[in-house]
Structure formats: structure tokens, C-alpha cells
């Protein structure tokens, strides 16, 4: 049984917090709650208290209750603080460290892990300001569950922004309270992002990889207790907490960094490595009357194939395959050609680069697993789970 401080913010999804309280109580957890002022317009402290049978605090000034319970005491005594639904506003205030109401003061005072279950209009979720605040909070160690894609309360609005289902929030809470440490003592090397191949000192050839999938795998492996070395090409997303970053530019740098990181138990090669590099000019190429320069391309080393066949090969080597047709057949051929153990194959004909979600197939020597469409975080968690199962065999 744990003490879960639930912060409820104002939003249409606030009513789902009641269902969450019911489920947490069924599991025997204690669920004191703080309602923001806006939350009290969607659910009443009375209904929350009736379900939780625990203290409910609001900003409506109540000196007696504050003296008796105290929001700081609640925050300090919690095993976890869950914000559901978390609005764009509370995330903005948390990201800047504000404490201008009971909820944000408690969030600042707690030493317990914090889980946010965001819910908002898809445009608000997609806004760069929200993305910036989320990145800041994730870098601070705050965990997120959802939001999910689907229909919004506003008619005709669809997209990412729905509150995660109570069951998913419950699973995320349990994962934090009793974390999976199955990769404890293991070293995992993950490659991520694109490579930049210099043409001259100011120009380069790159690709559209965002690094989201590789970084999500590194984050999941770190959460499972592994020591993680993330060898990443240039990306704009934050380094996940608990991960050692080796930042590289070209494919040749990436190979050197991966080799330097060995020995490892597991290697997951999620980077979109350029197949060729240019014989880079020492000085910036000039525009001349004789026309454009001819670029001479040379083959890059295949990092996945090199590592799969190296003397210090990790026990499990996982590659990626981005295909636009015959996904499974091409991935199977790649498994043999590269000498790796598994391939995560995805169909990129519909556009995956930079997206939040991915549809993948896990291909091993003897079978194919079709995974449903998942967030890149969930693909990471699922892959790490399969890795932990395999190493335990
Ligand atoms: O052959 P293809 O580039 O489609 O293979 C993709 C897989 O191989 C990915 O896991 C990618 O990280 C890896 N790769 C590599 N080195 C290269 C090219 C691809 O490690 N030069």
C-alpha cells in the first residue's frame, strides 16, 4: 500500500480522476488529493473525498484544515505525486518552478517521484511552448503517461491530447512504485539520431531522423536499471535522465564511439546512419563560373554489421529497418546480412520520421511479432521488456 498524492487540475477530463481514485483505492492505496481552483469547477471536493475517504485540499482558504493537514506535510509524506489531468498551465508553472497555489507548492516541496497525465486540446499539446515545458520537466526527472490520440471533447477536434486511460495511469504508477530493475548490472549501448556527413566546413548531408525512437529506448533501458551509453548524432531532443551521452556527427565518429563503449551486453542500433560520406573539402567550397562541384561519395562503415561480427560482440544485437515495401521480407534479409539477432522493422511509407508514434514488427531468427501502433516511448518499453525476458532465459 502506498500514499499517492493526487493533484487534480481543471479540465473536461477531471471527472476521470474519480475513476482513478476508485481503482487506486481498490488496490489499497491511500489517496489524499489537492484540487486546483479550476478543478473545483469540474469536480467537487465532496465527491473526491467521498471516494477517497482521505484529506482533500483546495485553495479555498481554510486555515483550520491547513493547520491540521498541511499541503507541505502531504507532499513530503507521499510515495508518489500524480497530476491527473495535468493541464498546459500547471506544466508551464512547474517548468518554471512556481508555487503560486497549493498544487504547485506541493509539487515543489515533494521529494517523491512525480507522474503527469496530461490532457488538453491537441493544438495546446502541439504548441512549442508546451513541448518546451514538457522537455524541461522530463529533464528534471518528471515522468509522463500519455496523452493519447483520439477524439476530443470539442466536436470535430482530434489528435494527441486525451488523458491516458485510468488503467494506463495505474500501470505507470505501479511501475514507478515497484520499478522493473531487470537490466540491473547490464551495459546497453544505443545509437540514435541522424549522422551529419561534412561536405566542407559549413555544409553537410543529413537525414530527417529526430532521434525520438533511439532516445526512448535508451530511457527505457535506464529505467530498467541498465547502465546506458547513448551514442547519438545531432538531435534537438533532451538526453534522457540517467543515460551517458556520447555526441557524434558522422558515421565514422559513431562507429568509433560505439567501439569505444564496448564491452556491452546489449546493442540497439536505432540511428539513421548515412550510407555514404563525402570527401570533405578543407575550405568552404566557392561558387564558380565553371558550375557546381562534383561530390565524390564513399561508402560508410556499416556499424551494425561491424559490431555484430566483432570480437567483442554484445550478447544481443538489435538493428532497425526502415522499409517502404515488403517490410518483413526485406527485414529478414537484413537480419542475415548484418548478422544481428533481432530487427525492429517499420513501414516508413506513411511517414514515421519525427512523429510520436511507430508501428513496428520484431523479427527474430525464428519468428515475427507484429506490434500495434504505439508511442515511441511504448515501443522502447516493450523492446526493453523483450530484452529482459530473453536475457533471463
Ligand atoms: O541497411 P540499413 O541502413 O537499412 O540498415 C538499418 C540498420 O543498420 C539500423 O539499425 C542502422 O542503425 C544500421 N546501420 C548502421 N550503419 C550504417 C547503416 C545502417 O549501423 N552505415
| Angle (nearest 5°) at CA 51 between 46 and 56 | 50
The arithmetic mean of pLDDT across residues 32-60, rounded, is 93
Ligand 1 contacts CB of residue 317 (under 6 A): no
Could you tell me if 106 and 112 are in contact, meaning their C-beta atoms sit under 8 angstroms apart?
A: no
- Please say if 326 is a catalytic residue: no
SS3 35: strand
Cis check for the bond before 17: say yes or no (omega within 30 of 0): no
Most confident of 139-148, 164-173, 195-204, 237-246: 195-204
Higher-pLDDT residue of 41 and 72 is: 41
Place of cell 514515421: 352
Higher-pLDDT residue of 157 and 79 is: 79
Q: Which atom of ligand 1 is nearest to the CA of 338?
A: 8
Task: Kindly state the cell numbers that stand for 227.
Answer: 547502465
- Backbone dihedral angles phi then psi of residue 292, each to the nearest 5 degrees: -70, 155
216-251 in b/e form (b: 16+ CB < 10 A) is bbbbbbbbbbbbbbbbbbebebebbeebebbebbbb
Closest CA to 362 of 353, 350, 385, 349: 385
Residue 160: predicted pLDDT: 87
Q: How far is the CA of 303 from the centre of ligand 1 (A)?
A: 7
Asked if pLDDT for residue 30 goes beyond 90, the answer is yes
Whole-angstrom distance, CA of residue 62 vs CA of residue 71: 12
Mutating to test ligand 1, I would choose from 274, 319, 326, 335 the residue with most ligand atoms within 8 A of its C-beta, which is: 319
pLDDT, tens digit, for every residue of 276-314? 999 999 999 999 989 999 999 999 999 999 999 999 999
Which among 53, 121, 133, 207 is annotated as catalytic? 207
Q: How far is CA 267 from CA 53, 250, 273, 320, 346, in A?
A: 48, 19, 15, 11, 18
Q: How far is the CA of 40 from the centre of ligand 1 (A)?
A: 53
Higher-pLDDT residue of 327 and 306 is: 306
Q: How far is the CA of 370 from the centre of ligand 1 (A)?
A: 21
The answer to whether domain 187-392 has CATH 3.40.50.10300 is yes
pLDDT, tens digit, for every residue of 63-96? 667 766 788 889 999 999 999 999 999 999 999 9
Beta pairing partners, 361: 345, 370
Q: Which atom of ligand 1 is nearest to the CA of 319?
A: 10
Rg (CA), the chain: 24
Asked if pLDDT for residue 26 goes beyond 90, the answer is yes
Element at 8 (helix H, strand E): strand 4-8
- Alpha helices, DSSP H, located in 309-374: 327-338
CATH architecture of 4-177: 3-Layer(aba) Sandwich (3.40)
Task: Kindly state the cell numbers that stand for 141.
Answer: 526527472
Whole-angstrom distance, CA of residue 277 vs CA of residue 53: 65
Domain ranges of the chain: 4-177, 187-392
Whole-angstrom distance, CA of residue 245 vs CA of residue 229: 6
Task: Kindly state the cell numbers that stand for 115.
Answer: 507522474
Ligand 1 contacts CB of residue 21 (under 6 A): no
Long-range contacts of 289-297 (CB under 8 A, 24+ apart): 295/199
Residue 351: predicted pLDDT: 59
Confidence of residue 155 (pLDDT cuts 50, 70, 90): low
Residue nearest atom 5 of ligand 1, based on CA coordinates: 321
Task: Kindly state the cell numbers that stand for 20.
Answer: 482513478
Residue 123: predicted pLDDT: 92
Ligand 1 contacts CB of residue 319 (under 6 A): yes
Q: How far is the CA of 304 from the centre of ligand 1 (A)?
A: 6
Residue nearest atom 4 of ligand 1, based on CA coordinates: 321
- Say how far residue 119 (Cα) sits from the centre of its chain: 17
Higher-pLDDT residue of 375 and 300 is: 300
Q: How far is CA 98 from CA 114, 179, 319, in A?
A: 16, 29, 43
Residue 159: predicted pLDDT: 81
| pTM beyond 0.85 | no
- Please report, rounded to a whole number, the percentage of residues in the chain having pLDDT higher than 90: 79
- Say how far residue 380 (Cα) sits from the centre of its chain: 8
Residue 393: predicted pLDDT: 82
Beta strands 276-278 and 297-299: pairing type? antiparallel
Mutating to test ligand 1, I would choose from 269, 314, 340 the residue with most ligand atoms within 8 A of its C-beta, which is: 269
Could you tell me if 380 and 213 are in contact, meaning their C-beta atoms sit under 8 angstroms apart?
A: yes
Confidence of residue 352 (pLDDT cuts 50, 70, 90): low
Amino acid at each position: 500500500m502506498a500514499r499517492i498524492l493526487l493533484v487534480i487540475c481543471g479540465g473536461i477530463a477531471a471527472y476521470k480522476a474519480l475513476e482513478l481514485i476508485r481503482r487506486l483505492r481498490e488496490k489499497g492505496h491511500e489517496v489524499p488529493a489537492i484540487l486546483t481552483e479550476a478543478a473545483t469547477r469540474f469536480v467537487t471536493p465532496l465527491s473526491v473525498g467521498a471516494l477517497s475517504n482521505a484529506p482533500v485540499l483546495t485553495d479555498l482558504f481554510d486555515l483550520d484544515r491547513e493547520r491540521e493537514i498541511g499541503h507541505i506535510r502531504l507532499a513530503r509524506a507521499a510515495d508518489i505525486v500524480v497530476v491527473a489531468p495535468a493541464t498546459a498551465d500547471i506544466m508551464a508553472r512547474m517548468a518554471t518552478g512556481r508555487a503560486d497555489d497549493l498544487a504547485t507548492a506541493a509539487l515543489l516541496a515533494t521529494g517523491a517521484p512525480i507522474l503527469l497525465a496530461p490532457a488538453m486540446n491537441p493544438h495546446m499539446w502541439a504548441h512549442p511552448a508546451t513541448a518546451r515545458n514538457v522537455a524541461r520537466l522530463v529533464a528534471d526527472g518528471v515522468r509522463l503517461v500519455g496523452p493519447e490520440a483520439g477524439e476530443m471533447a470539442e466536436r470535430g477536434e482530434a489528435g494527441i491530447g486525451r488523458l491516458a486511460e485510468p488503467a494506463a495511469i495505474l500501470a505507470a504508477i505501479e511501475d514507478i512504485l515497484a520499478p522493473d530493475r531487470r537490466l540491473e548490472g547490464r551495459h546497453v549501448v544505443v545509437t540514435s539520431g541522424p549522422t551529419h556527413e561534412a561536405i566542407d566546413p559549413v555544409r553537410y548531408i543529413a537525414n530527417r531522423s529526430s532521434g525520438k525512437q533511439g532516445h526512448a529506448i535508451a530511457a527505457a533501458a535506464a529505467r530498467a536499471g541498465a547502465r546506458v551509453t547513448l551514442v547519438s548524432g545531432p538531435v534537438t531532443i533532451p538526453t534522457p535522465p540517467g543515460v551517458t551521452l556520447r555526441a557524434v556527427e558522422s558515421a565514422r565518429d559513431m562507429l568509433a564511439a560505439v567501439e569505444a563503449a564496448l564491452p556491452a551486453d546489449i546493442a540497439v542500433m536505432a540511428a539513421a546512419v548515412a550510407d555514404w560520406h563525402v570527401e570533405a573539402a578543407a575550405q568552404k567550397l566557392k561558387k564558380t563560373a565553371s558550375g557546381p562541384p562534383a561530390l565524390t561519395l564513399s561508402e560508410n562503415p556499416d556499424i551494425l554489421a561491424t559490431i555484430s561480427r566483432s570480437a567483442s560482440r554484445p550478447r544481443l544485437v538489435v538493428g532497425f529497418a526502415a522499409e517502404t515495401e515488403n517490410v518483413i521480407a526485406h527485414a529478414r534479409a537484413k537480419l542475415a546480412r548484418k548478422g544481428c539477432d533481432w530487427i525492429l522493422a517499420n513501414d516508413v511509407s506513411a511517414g514515421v520520421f519525427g512523429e510520436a508514434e511507430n508501428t513496428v514488427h520484431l523479427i527474430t531468427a525464428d519468428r515475427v511479432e507484429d506490434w500495434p501502433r504505439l508511442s515511441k516511448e511504448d515501443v522502447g518499453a516493450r523492446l526493453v521488456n523483450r530484452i529482459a525476458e530473453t536475457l533471463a532465459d
